[in-house]
Chain A
Amino acid sequence: MIELKDIYKIYGDGDSEIRALDGINLSVADGEFVAIVGQSGSGKSTAMNIIGCLDVPTYGQYFLDGEDVSCMNEIQLADVRGRRLGFIFQQYNLIPKLSVLENVELPLVYKAMKPEERRLKAMSALEKVGLPDRADKYPSQLSGGQQQRVSIARALAGDPQLILADEPTGALDSKTGKDVLDFISSLNDEGKTVVLITHDMSVAQKAKRIVRIQDGKIVSDEVIREG
């Protein structure tokens, strides 16, 4: 499903250049649950942004479902983000002035789905994360864990095949963090491909495969559990 070939991301140039990604090669098959771990500044988020089509590599090729993403234009990239990917961010990234339901509906709005259909899908996503009664609340009226569950519902609403989570538990206490994590692994059980980023090994242990990054390079890649 994901295929990164010799991916470089270089910031700055000359003496001050930073190789955030320094020749990454990575394949992720459909249905996998991969944790990318590494120290702070090792390039985890950079890698995920490229996988998520939010950023483009300086060099290298990226194939998503066999399609070369590196040569897509902005509109095609937006389409890929909207239809095939679901993001879960550390900072939840909900829009404060929209209600919970409207936040969850947002990816569907950009898919030009009809309002009634959109509402149904968003509600069923909220039910999945156990927050249907908060649909009309605003993000600021929810706890951190609830907000993260709303953002998961939003990632699920469009029914994408690939879920990308960048430190989804980073801002949560261990109890709520564990709940969120369990939920994410249940998504994988349902067949979704999950790429999870963390610097916390206990979190990474939930995954089936751990990829370790250091200074922009993959230093180890091991399957810890069979699907």
Chain B
Amino acid sequence: MNIKQSFILAMKSLKASKMRSFLTMLGIIIGVAAVIILVSIVDGFSNTMIDAFESAGINLVNVNVRGRGSSRTVTPDDMLTFAEDNSDDIIGISPTVMASVTLKVDTENNQTTVTGVNEYYKDIKELEIGGGRFLQYIDVERRQKVCVIGSYIAKNYFETFSCVGEKIKINGNDYTVVGVLEESAGSEEGSADDIVYIPYTCATLLSRQKTISSYVVASTSKDDVTKVKKLVENYLYSIFDNSDLYTVTAVADLVDTVDELMGTLTAILVGIAGISLLVGGIGIMNIMLVSVTERTREIGIRKSLGAKPWDIMSQFVVEAATTSSMGGFIGIAFGCVSSIVAGKILGVTATPSILAILVAFSVSVAIGMFFGYFPAKKASKLNPIDALRYD
């Protein structure tokens, strides 16, 4: 008897008791579906997060200086000189100074944050200008009261994107709008379009900070980030002589961290789903043992007609494997549909991964074979005459 015949036979006995077969499969169905749903949702989440990081700039390195208590310090000029010395690897460096301010246009009056940067910031962040220009060296150098605004600000305060030349009151001082950025995030409040850039030299005054503590560095390519990070660290160490006084973080490192975290999370969740698969396997073993007992007489008949132990064994192993792989199939279908639905509800794109599907399927076949083996072995060892006499 070959595997194909065993398979046909297995399908027959599955069909003969549909309810029982379904209940037997249920453990596998739930286990497989759970694996696929969990993996695809975690994947979806981590992709969303990584996308967010990458749009924030995968080639960026953030520098935070806590020079407090030390006589040593770095100035923006030092940082710029450093950037020029390494212009092969570094696109530019800009201070980032956040200041909480009151923004006022006509009677519209809002509490918000402005960001002080220098002229390199546009290239660092790859900003697109929709109208006018970005901040220039002269603006920074002379502390000119000019600003570049995001599309949300333009829409909200001026009700038009062409508002270059208009004035905005920041903490009571008139700032001239010299540029409006291209819309990049749907002009939503709180998005990347809800932004006001001013020269950092003005921002330090607004924020009442004496020293500048945070910088953003862009590497020429994203493969260079690690190198640039090292360069910055070495440079800062050469000044501070103490690595506790500053921190240098690459966005790419965050991506790695997220990846690692999500990997751990996936492993834990899949482990839990695996328990369901194990329970499903035990369910299959249980039902196969019952089935062997029920069919003792059939086994006796088959043996009297020349069935070898191997024939009986393969029949039961194939039946167990068929049961669990059918469960696997249903679980995969159910898991794929549910993960897409769940993804929609959670607002992530949860695409069931081919790998998860393949793994889930082969695991379910393996479980059927593994847990079917013992009952099958038992059946194949039955003495023909005892089996024939069994009622």
The answer to the question of B344 belonging to the interface, with a C-beta cut-off of 8 Å to chain A, is no
The answer to the question of A40 belonging to the interface, with a C-beta cut-off of 8 Å to chain B, is no
Least CB separation from B380: chain A residue: A74
| Assembly CA distance A79 to B297 (angstroms) | 19
Among B18-26, B207-215, B278-286, B304-312, the stretch in contact with A: B304-312
A78 in contact with B388 (CB, 8 Å): no
B308 in contact with A79 (CB, 8 Å): yes
Least CB separation from B309: chain A residue: A74
Per-position 1/0 for A64-88, Cβ under 8 A of B:
0000000000110011011100010
A54 in contact with B1 (CB, 8 Å): no
The answer to the question of B302 belonging to the interface, with a C-beta cut-off of 8 Å to chain A, is yes
Known contacts being A95-B298, A97-B16, A112-B1, is A107 close to B385, with CB within 8 Å? no
Known contacts being A95-B298, A110-B311, is A81 close to B306, with CB within 8 Å? yes
| Assembly CA distance A106 to B302 (angstroms) | 8
A54 in contact with B388 (CB, 8 Å): yes
| Assembly CA distance A154 to B305 (angstroms) | 9
- In the bound complex, residues from chain B placing their C-beta under 8 Å from that of A94 are 301
- In the bound complex, residues from chain A placing their C-beta under 8 Å from that of B304 are 52, 54, 81, 87, 93
Since A78-B307, A93-B388, A158-B306 are in contact, a sample of 9 more A-B pairs with Cβ atoms closer than 8 Å, ordered by chain A residue number, is A49-B385, A74-B309, A78-B309, A93-B297, A95-B302, A97-B16, A110-B302, A112-B1, A112-B2
B306 in contact with A83 (CB, 8 Å): yes
Least CB separation from B387: chain A residue: A54
- In the bound complex, residues from chain A placing their C-beta under 8 Å from that of B145 are none
| Assembly CA distance A200 to B307 (angstroms) | 32
- Residue in A75, A110, A111, A154 with the greatest tally of chain B CB atoms within 10 Å: A110
| Assembly CA distance A83 to B388 (angstroms) | 19
A110 in contact with B309 (CB, 8 Å): no
Q: What are 30 inter-chain pairs, A to B, with CB distance below 8 A?
A: A52-B304, A54-B304, A54-B384, A74-B309, A75-B308, A75-B309, A78-B303, A78-B306, A79-B308, A81-B303, A81-B305, A81-B306, A81-B384, A82-B307, A89-B388, A93-B297, A93-B300, A94-B301, A95-B301, A95-B302, A97-B12, A106-B305, A109-B1, A109-B5, A110-B1, A110-B302, A111-B306, A112-B1, A112-B2, A158-B306
| Assembly CA distance A154 to B304 (angstroms) | 11
What is the distance, in angstroms, from A168's C-beta to the closest C-beta of chain B?
Answer: 14
What is the distance, in angstroms, from B310's C-beta to the closest C-beta of chain A?
Answer: 8
Chain B binding surface, main DSSP class: helix
Known contacts being A49-B385, A93-B388, is A79 close to B306, with CB within 8 Å? yes
Interface residue ranges, A against B (CB under 8 Å): 49, 52, 54-55, 74-75, 78-79, 81-83, 87, 89, 93-95, 97, 106-107, 109-112, 154, 158
Least CB separation from B1: chain A residue: A109
- In the bound complex, residues from chain B placing their C-beta under 8 Å from that of A87 are 304-305
The answer to the question of B13 belonging to the interface, with a C-beta cut-off of 8 Å to chain A, is yes
What is the distance, in angstroms, from B135's C-beta to the closest C-beta of chain A?
Answer: 83
| Assembly CA distance A89 to B51 (angstroms) | 74
| Assembly CA distance A94 to B300 (angstroms) | 11
B298 in contact with A74 (CB, 8 Å): no
Least CB separation from B391: chain A residue: A91
- In the bound complex, residues from chain B placing their C-beta under 8 Å from that of A54 are 303-304, 384-385, 388
| Assembly CA distance A87 to B13 (angstroms) | 25
Total contacting residues, chain B, CB less than 8 A? 24
B388 in contact with A110 (CB, 8 Å): no
B305 in contact with A82 (CB, 8 Å): yes
- Rank and list the top 6 A-B pairs by shortest CB-CB distance, nearest first: A82-B306, A110-B306, A107-B305, A78-B308, A55-B385, A54-B385
- In the bound complex, residues from chain A placing their C-beta under 8 Å from that of B13 are 97
B301 in contact with A110 (CB, 8 Å): no
What is the distance, in angstroms, from B376's C-beta to the closest C-beta of chain A?
Answer: 15
What is the distance, in angstroms, from A178's C-beta to the closest C-beta of chain B?
Answer: 26
| Assembly CA distance A95 to B311 (angstroms) | 16
Least CB separation from A74: chain B residue: B309
- In the bound complex, residues from chain B placing their C-beta under 8 Å from that of A81 are 303-306, 384
| Assembly CA distance A81 to B303 (angstroms) | 8
What is the distance, in angstroms, from B6's C-beta to the closest C-beta of chain A?
Answer: 10
What is the distance, in angstroms, from A64's C-beta to the closest C-beta of chain B?
Answer: 14
- In the bound complex, residues from chain B placing their C-beta under 8 Å from that of A111 are 306
| Assembly CA distance A81 to B385 (angstroms) | 12
| Assembly CA distance A111 to B306 (angstroms) | 8
- In the bound complex, residues from chain B placing their C-beta under 8 Å from that of A106 are 301-302, 305
What is the distance, in angstroms, from B115's C-beta to the closest C-beta of chain A?
Answer: 77
| Assembly CA distance A63 to B297 (angstroms) | 28
| Assembly CA distance A74 to B298 (angstroms) | 18
Least CB separation from A109: chain B residue: B1
- In the bound complex, residues from chain B placing their C-beta under 8 Å from that of A158 are 306
Q: Which of B263-303 contact A (CB under 8 A)?
A: 297-298, 300-303
A74 in contact with B308 (CB, 8 Å): yes
- Residue in A54, A79, A112 with the greatest tally of chain B CB atoms within 10 Å: A54
- In the bound complex, residues from chain B placing their C-beta under 8 Å from that of A79 are 306, 308
- Residue in A75, A109, A112 with the greatest tally of chain B CB atoms within 10 Å: A109
- Residue in B297, B305, B307 with the greatest tally of chain A CB atoms within 10 Å: B305
What is the distance, in angstroms, from A49's C-beta to the closest C-beta of chain B?
Answer: 5
A93 in contact with B306 (CB, 8 Å): no
| Assembly CA distance A95 to B12 (angstroms) | 13
